Amino acid sequence: MSYNIAVAGKGGSGKTTVASLVVRYLKQNGLGPILAVDADPNANLGESLGLSIRQTVGAIIATFNEEKINIPPGMTKEAYLEVRLNDAMVESKGLDLVTMGRGEGPDCYCYPNLLLRKFMDSMAGNYPYIVMDNEAGMEHLSRRTTQNIDELLLVSNHSVKGVRTIARVRELVDELKLVVKRQSVIINMVPDRIDPHVSEEMTRLGIEPAAIIPLDDTVSESDMAMKPLLDLPDCQATNAVDTLMAELLKDKVKAIKTL
C-alpha cells in the first residue's frame, strides 16, 4: 500500500511549495515512484514540479456531461470515466501527476472528488508514496477527499490567522473522524524568528510546530524564474523540509531496510 502524505492549510501559506519540496526529498532519496495529486481547483502543482498538464479530472467529467459521449457496450459510466482518468495522468521518471482541476456548475466537485478517491485507491499499489496538495481552507476535508492519511502536514504562513486556520483544520479532522495517523504543523516563510504574537497564539491553541521553514530567497527566485522546485539547490527551505521528512519517515525507511 502507498504511504499517503497530504498537505493542507490556509491560502497563501505556501502549501504547494511545501508539497513540491516533499516530492523533491522523496525523489532525491530514491523513495519513488511517487504519485503527486493536485486536489486544488486552482491547480499549480504541475508548474511547481515542472510538469505540463494535458488534462484534468474536472475537465474530463465536464466534457463527458456536455458531449454525452457514447459509452462502449457493456461498460458503465463509472468504468468509462475511470478509463478516461488515465488521460489526466502526467508521467515522468520516478514521478507521476494527476490534477483534479476545476469542475463546472453547482455541486461540481462532489463527483470529481469521488472519482479522484477511487482512482487513488486503484493506484495505491503502484506507488510507495502519494503526495496530495489540497485546496486552501477546509473544503477538501468536509467533502472527505482526504482520507486514510499517514502524514497530514498542516502548513501555516507566519501569521496569527494562519495558525488559527491550522487549529480549525485539526478540529475538523476530529469532528469528521477522518483516518489520519499523524498531524504535523509547519510554520512557513519565517523571516528571522517567530513573531511573539504568532508564538503566543500557538501556545494558546496548543500548537507545537514540527518544522519551521525560513523565508528563503532561493525559493522565491526560482518561482519567479518559473524553474521547477525539484531542481532547487540545497538551501534553508529545502534543508528544513528534508530534516522534517527524514524524521517523519525514519521508522518507515528503517522497516524497509530490514526486509
Tens-digit pLDDT profile for residues 9-54: 888 899 999 999 999 999 999 998 999 999 887 788 999 999 998 8
| Residue 87 DSSP code | G
Q: How confident is the model at residue 254 (pLDDT cuts 50, 70, 90)?
A: low
Q: What residues have CB less than 8 Å from 187, skipping those under 6 apart?
A: 156, 157, 158, 162, 163, 194, 198, 202, 209, 211, 212, 213
Structural domains of the chain, ranges and CATH numbers in brackets? 3-258 (3.40.50.300)
Tens-digit pLDDT profile for residues 183-210: 999 999 999 999 999 999 999 999 999 9
Q: Is the predicted pLDDT of residue 105 greater than 70, yes or no?
A: no
Distance CA 190, CA 240 (A): 12
Q: How far is CA 11 from the centre of its chain?
A: 13
Q: Which residue has the higher pLDDT, 126 or 67?
A: 126
Mean pLDDT within 85-107: 79
Q: Is the predicted pLDDT of residue 140 greater than 80, yes or no?
A: no
Q: Is the predicted pLDDT of residue 144 greater than 60, yes or no?
A: no
Q: Which residue has the higher pLDDT, 85 or 247?
A: 247
Type of residue numbered 82: E
**Helix, strand, coil shares, percent, the chain, to 5:** 45, 20, 35
| Residue 202 · residue 208 · CB < 8 Å | yes
Identify the CA nearest to 19 among candidates 31, 34, 30, 29: 34
Q: How confident is the model at residue 138 (pLDDT cuts 50, 70, 90)?
A: low
H/E stretch holding 143 = none
Q: In sequence order, what DSSP letters do the residues of 157-222 get, joined into one string?
A: -SSHHHHHHHHHHHHHHHHTT--EEEEEEEEEEE-SS--HHHHHHHHHHT---SEEEEP-HHHHHH
Type of residue numbered 254: K
Type of residue numbered 151: E
